[in-house]
Structure 1
Amino acid sequence: MLRLKSPATVITLAALTALGPLATDMYLPAMPAMAAALDTGPDQVQLTLSLYMAGFAAAQLFCGPFSDRFGRKPVMIFGFSLFLVASLLCAFAPSIEWLLAGRFLQALGGATGPVLGRAAVRDIYGPIEAGRILSYMASTMSLAPALAPIIGAGLLLFWGWESVFVLLAIYAAAMLPLLILALPEPLPPERRQSIHPAAILANFRMLLGQRTFMGYTLTNAAAFSGLFAYLSGSSFVLIDFLGVSPFQYGLFFTLIVAGFFVGTLLSGRYSHRLGRERLVGLGSLTCALGGSLMLILALAGVYTTWAVVGPHVLFMIGMGVLMPQSMTGALAPNPHCAGSASSLFGFLQMSIAAVVGSTVAQLHDGTSQTMAIVVALGGLLAVASFLGLVRPAERAMKAQQAEGGEP
């Protein structure tokens, strides 16, 4: 059994959390091929991504509160088992309808990794140190989305799109014994919460009325929507419109993830020096600059690979700075219900992203313009949420602390 505060535990939590990006990113290069194989249109295949996010969002409302009551490990074990079965259903789906059903079930199980991984870090490290640990976890975890599209492209080339989901099933099967036998339970019994519906709703109501929680959550959700717009539309823009191969798409995606990796390293390194609020502001501004540059190039008719990939690398640097700090900011004031806070945070993040993703799919015009518009809006709304909610909330909290009150 691993020690709670150890590098091995952090790496294990990162591996469990990586299930989310793996299930999202590995099959992206295969989306055009899936549309052809299942005799359906791009909008239906893109719906598998939006439906996954919708299911992911819904599951988070339940897995967090249940983990506050029964512990993080039992809920994760159930989730990974469900993900394993759902991945096999996707692999052998005979039609787009079966694939959509499998993706929804995948989401219900896969949500437990990211949600409870965040909550476990908050359990173990507390409100201040959690930001630094989540930043370095994100750096480690960025290997998953960096390699996932390249692996997916290779699997598509040699064994077809179905093999992507077989590999996801194998990953879940490998994580289960590690989860059962090696990971200690991070939530002590004295901090367990009731799962009575009234108690859960009371926690959610409290969080929705908490300006600090909502500010950090909406800032994150706005930027994440820009990222999800890229995930939803980039394979059709780059492969179908600009003519890159699935393997080249995987290589370009690696550059995108490299930007995120750089951002997470900056976030971890300067966490103590600059502070959470300033890093979230800098991250959201960088997202807005990257998205706006992509939009300007698209509206000017500059339809090249680098006009899409280059600005999004900048966007992802901002995302890497912003994401771990905004997660910590949302969870920091709520140690008594970290699972519920992580659930609601993820629900709002994924729900907004799912709506955005379906919008990109429905309005896709065959060029990069629709995707660029939504990426730019995501960055700009992140800045607006930071300025309108996060900054006033942090200033009010500091003023209250200076007066000797409770934060």
Structure 2
Amino acid sequence: MILIVLLMLVALIALGFPIAIALLVSSIFYFFMQDVPGMLIVQQMMTGAPSFVLVAIPLFILAGQLMNNGGITRRIIRFCNALLGRAKGGLAQVNILSSMIFAGISGEAVADTAGLGGVLIPAMKKHGYSAEDAGAITAAASVAGPIIPPSIPMIICASLAQVSVGQMFLGGALPGLLFIVMAMVFTYFIADRAGFPRGEKSNWSELYHAFIDAFWALMAPVIIVGGLITGIVTVTEAAVIAVLYVFIIGQFVYREIDLRQVVSELWYTAALSGAIMFILASAKVYTYALTREQIAHVLTQSLDIFISSPNLLFIVIILIALVIGAILSTTAGLLLMVPLLAPLVDASGIDPIHFYVLVTIALCIGTLTPPVGINLYLAASIAEAPPQRVFLRALPYLLLLLAIIGLGIFVPSLVLALPHLVYGG
């Protein structure tokens, strides 16, 4: 029966049904066929979304929206340009470094692409970059958003897997920073061959004034991530601080927040958060059906050969995650995979933080790949370039992400060093 339910779920998603509806319809079918009381559906949904940790999701979404409204994004870009604009591939380097700073506040890739891409892609085209290169670098660098803490996909994954959000955040920090460094080094070495122009050289005075102007904006990720790393605040408290801090400096320091625009941003945040919570509530019903059918025991028995070799299991699941990430959104991929993977993690002895961080990164790569690739299509739209050509230019950066996942599998300390340092273990 559970196989029929899983096939129905996949079929509904393939037919274009929203993931929440697909989860709910396939689960209701299971309940009906097994003569399970319908009231259990309501009970499971009621326990699926209410969580103090999940409150962080709408708050980080709102913080990302307020960054663009309050002039923070523009100041971050100006500082990065004063710092790196004259380097080889100057604006490309600025784009990548800005993504790292932006990632420390927003927690999602789409906000990064929309916020930074709306400013940097036209600027890059104006300074001689091709539309394809401008879109590709923006889309690829934005993948750092959900890897470097804070990260909305990691909040969702941790909630589903019942593991520490803080440890997952720290687990993604080093891989995310390594990707930024590798992307910048790669861009430096290919700049001449790719025809990336240099920007105008900034003097010390311009750099100083850009830094002073952006100081409060640059302090945002320091305060948010620093509070998480030191354990001073929880994830949800950090999200509250992010919204308050971004609003205060945008309204009272930079004096650029348009209060009328804030209302539309609140509506956007509420709508997106409501959709996410409905998905999580529906996923709880689906997870209950899997648990009732003892899917954990079935999978453990079926994949016994992989469980005896954790690295092989890791590689197989990462490959599956890459495929699922390419055809589903990151959230949908997490909802589909995590309930199935949890028993395998327990049976194989793999550290769950190590496992779920790398799986989340693999699913996030899907935002850069066809046919779904929301980051890819958004960046291509802003750049006014064919998505397929943008993807080809982004391919080297995608390979860097895959290399980081491979390194993370065989060198677990890349993921686990910071969680163990802060939380022990």
Which structure's CA Rg is the greater one? 2
- So what's the TM-score if we normalise by structure 1? 0.31
- So what's the TM-score if we normalise by structure 2? 0.30
